[in-house]
Structure 1
Amino acid sequence: MVKEEERIYKGIVFCPGDPELVAIKRKTHNLDVDYNQTHEDEFEKRAAILQEILGEMGEGVRIQGPIAFHYGKHTKIGKNFFGNFNLTIQDDGEVTIGDNCNFGPNVTIVTPVHPMVPEERNALLGPDGKPKRLCWAKPVHIGDNVWLGANVVVCPGVTIGDGCVIGAGAVVTRDIPPRTFAAGNPCRVIREITEADSMRHKPEILADFAVPESFEGLF
């Protein structure tokens, strides 16, 4: 018989109440609590807890907290990540986040999907003929250099390309191509991000700072 966690990776229905899955989630939920009880300047303690929670974590990861990871081990985060307050990642399925990403407050990423028919949400029949509550999961992939604004919700199965900006409050239900600005509910591409968006054209905001001639080797 296929183990429940293997069923998740196959993209087929699984039982979230399976004892092995419950044990993973309970451990992660307890670690979430540990993280949320730390002070902001307890850098080493926070990093150690995140190492226990996450499947992979690059250098320079900073998450403001509070956090809510579901499985934790199904999430991989690249280097130089910043997550603002109230980051929620319901990673029944795989979640990958690239390098140099910034998330605003109250960002939520979800991967599980439930049957639309209410009676089927309550019970489907397992191989043994016994009724069980089942769901399945679709992975979420977020590229490098992505900025998600406040209150963005990323839905199951979505891929967000490199260099995207997702506007505040967006509900992302479909893939977003690289280097575009997208917003709305449901989220849609508004336009490409181009040189016209450069801070070079905002000297009144840039003040005494400057845009580098080259970004190579800076990150």
Structure 2
Amino acid sequence: MRTEKEKMLAGEPYQACDPVLSQDRKRAKKACQQINQHDTDDLAGREALLAVLIRFDGKFWIEPPLYVDYGYNIQIGDNFYANHGLTILDGAPVIIGKNVFIAPNVVIATAGHPLDKTRRATGEEYVKPITIGDDVWLGAHVTLCPGVTLGNNVVVGAGSVVVHDLPDNSVCVGTPARPVKSLA
């Protein structure tokens, strides 16, 4: 029989209250707490704490506070910047390209719950991966929902909710976010 963590990592419905997953989230919360309270003058120490939690492929800067569910499902490309209040629910992979800039209070959520009230009441969750291409800018208070892919050179306007994939070279706004301008 598969463990709940194996189910989650395979993208199958799982129980988030599983003791192993709960322990993984607790570890990530403690790491975020350390990062968020770390001395702002100790840049090397702060970067080292972040690199234990998240995989980075180059230089990065994340303003505190940062919140993640697990950390181990997040991969971030070179030249990454996130402003205050980034939340990443990473039950599924979150792949972020290079030259990505994130404004304050952005939510990247791979996790969701069933529409069926009986299944939802049991604590069942599902996850779908999120991919963010290169040269993307997410405005303040943007929410990325489970399973979306943002192409390269995409700008998502402040307050937008992304529920569908967004094409390369586009400015996208609204709820749900949709392309309103081409950057090609």
**TM-score, normalization: structure 1?**
0.81
CA contact (8 A) 1:80 1:100 kept: yes
Q: For residue 69 of structure 1, what is the aligned residue in structure 2?
A: 68
Paired AA for residue 146 in structure 1: V
How far 1:35 sits from its partner (Å)?
A: 0.6
Secondary structure of the structure 1 residue equivalent to 2:87:
strand
Secondary structure of the structure 1 residue equivalent to 2:95:
strand
Query: Aligned-residue CA RMSD in angstroms?
Result: 1.0
1:5 maps onto 2:16 in alignment? no
How far 1:39 sits from its partner (Å)?
A: 3.2
Counterpart selection for 1:171 from 141, 146, 161:
161
> How many correspondences in the alignment?
184
Secondary structure of the structure 1 residue equivalent to 2:176:
coil
Higher RCO by CA contacts (8 Å cutoff, separation 6 or greater) = 2
- What is the distance in 1 between the residues matched to 2:157 and 2:7? 34
Q: For residue 135 of structure 1, what is the aligned residue in structure 2?
A: 125
How far 1:107 sits from its partner (Å)?
A: 0.7
Secondary structure of the structure 1 residue equivalent to 2:15:
coil
User: If each structure's strand is expressed as a fraction of its own residues, which one has the higher value?
Assistant: 2
Percent of counterpart pairs with the same letter?
Answer: 36
How far 1:2 sits from its partner (Å)?
A: 1.3
How far 1:79 sits from its partner (Å)?
A: 0.9
The 4+ residue runs of structure 1 with deviation greater than 6 A are: none
Question: What residue ranges of structure 1 are gaps of 5+ in the alignment?
Answer: 124-132, 195-219
- What is the distance in 1 between the residues matched to 2:86 and 2:142? 10
- What is the distance in 2 between the residues matched to 1:46 and 1:87? 16
CA contact (8 A) 1:40 1:64 kept: no
- What is the distance in 2 between the residues matched to 1:40 and 1:20? 32
Moved more, 110-119 or 68-77: 110-119
- What is the distance in 1 between the residues matched to 2:41 and 2:140? 23
- What is the distance in 2 between the residues matched to 1:121 and 1:112? 13
**TM-score, normalization: structure 2?**
0.96
Paired AA for residue 4 in structure 1: E
Paired AA for residue 86 in structure 2: L
How far 1:60 sits from its partner (Å)?
A: 1.2
- What is the distance in 1 between the residues matched to 2:44 and 2:32? 16
- Which of the two has higher C-alpha Rg? 1
